[in-house]
Amino acid sequence: MSSVRPTVERLQLGVSLTRLRTAARKSQSEAASAIDRTAARLSQVENGKGSLGTEELLKLLDFYGVQGNERNTILALGTAARRRSVRRGYVDTLPEPFQRLVEMQVAASRISWYECGVIPGLVQSPDYVQAIMALSNSIYWEPSEEETGNRISFRLDHQRRVLECGGPKDITVIFTEDSLQHTVGSTSVMRGQVLHLLQLLERHENLTIRVVLNSAVDNPALGGGLVLLDFQESSPVSFAPLLYGPCTYYDQAEDLATMQRMYLRVEELALSRERTRELLIDLVRKDA
């Protein structure tokens, strides 16, 4: 195995193997010995800078006790991670794509998240999450209270894992003002959402929330969203949220440059952290 250029596939393989090793309560040294590699080499793989052959992956999965569909998914990720052909975007069509998205956000040192017309999932209140999932039931999946409940639990766990992870992480969430004006669930849910945002700002010093006013001129990201992930040990990755379809990631320099320029322009248009806080407080007072 040699050190190779980090890609989304290699990063996803790395964060997945890290999670499995942690769940199995094995050290890097123990896991590396199981496949006759050094801990330094395994560290490269877990940081998205290397790949493993099929036989090595099989030994590692046996060592971690991984079976069934998850085993097949990791093997498929391993195949994708070894691919050296250049491609523009990576479409994640493997099972449990949102699990890998969360793992990448947990591993990131910086998250830059922008949404237009909706509160970003990372800072949604529990009631807002329930309302979003309730309206999605029978549209994005067949009517199922169990499925809806599972998705609510997953979203709330996603927030907890990213916002409360122990490592250093800078998080900036930007959304358009109309996100606060569209009623999701009820007016009561929206009042609670504003209070939730204020509570998050008080609770998390590493979190910045900013609003782009409706009066802002020439927003280049109207009608869409984007997430930029920076890593200490790997190259940046960008993700474009979609209404429907598989997750699409970008890690090529030309794509990242475009999305970074777009995000920087949105940052220029957005209110500061403090001005946003004042806006939210004003909304609470008006509804009092």
pLDDT tens-digit readout, 140-169: 889 999 999 999 999 999 999 999 887 779
CA angle 169-76-56, nearest 5°?
85
pLDDT in tens, the chain (288 residues): 445 567 888 889 999 999 999 999 999 999 999 999 999 999 999 988 888 999 999 999 999 999 999 999 999 989 988 887 667 788 887 778 888 889 999 999 999 999 999 999 999 999 999 999 999 988 988 999 999 999 999 999 999 999 988 777 999 999 999 999 999 999 999 999 999 999 999 999 999 999 999 999 999 999 889 999 999 888 899 998 887 777 889 988 899 999 999 999 999 999 999 999 999 999 999 876
Give the pLDDT confidence score for residue 3 in this predicted structure.
52
The CA radius of gyration of the chain, in Å to the nearest whole number, is 20
Cβ atoms of 204 and 170 closer than 8 Å: no
pLDDT for residue 245: 77
- Rounded Cα gap, residues 73 and 95, in angstroms: 7
Which CATH architecture does the domain made up of 92-287 adopt? 2-Layer Sandwich (3.30)
Burial of 65 (0-12, 13-18, 19+ CB in 10 A): exposed
In this prediction the pTM is 0.83
| Residue pLDDT, tens place only, 177-216 | 999 999 999 999 999 999 999 999 999 999 999 999 999 9
Task: State the DSSP code for 207.
Answer: E
The alpha carbon of 63 is separated from its chain's Cα centroid by a whole number of angstroms, namely: 28
Give 141's strand partners: 137
**Amino acid in position 28:** Q
Quote the CA–CA distance of 143 and 91 in Å, as a whole number.
27
How far is residue 200's CA from residue 170's CA, in Å, rounded to a whole number? 14
> 3-class SS at 198?
helix
Domain range summary for the chain, segments of one domain joined by +: 8-85, 92-287
DSSP, collapsed to helix, strand or coil, labels residue 240 as: coil
Work out whether strand 237-239 and strand 207-212 pair parallel, antiparallel, or are unpaired.
Answer: unpaired
Tell me, what's the pLDDT at 2?
47
- C-alpha dist (Å) from residue 38 to 46, 81, 284: 13, 20, 56
Contact 129, 152 (CB under 8 A): yes
CA gap 98, 104 in Å, rounded: 10
Residue 221 C-beta-side C-alpha neighbours within 13 Å: 28
- CA separation for the pair 163, 157 (Å, rounded): 10
Q: Which of 83, 106, 206 is nearest to 162 (CA)?
A: 106
> What does DSSP assign to residue 206?
T
pLDDT for position 248 = 86
pLDDT at 120 (0 to 100): 96
Rounded distance, CA 209 to CA 271, Å?
9
Separation of alpha carbons 222 and 114, rounded Å: 10
Domains 8-85 and 92-287 share a fold: no
Decide: helix, strand or coil at residue 172: strand
CATH number of 8-85: 1.10.260.40
3-state helix/strand/coil string of 248-287: EEECCHHHHHHHHHHHHHHHHHCCCHHHHHHHHHHHHHHH
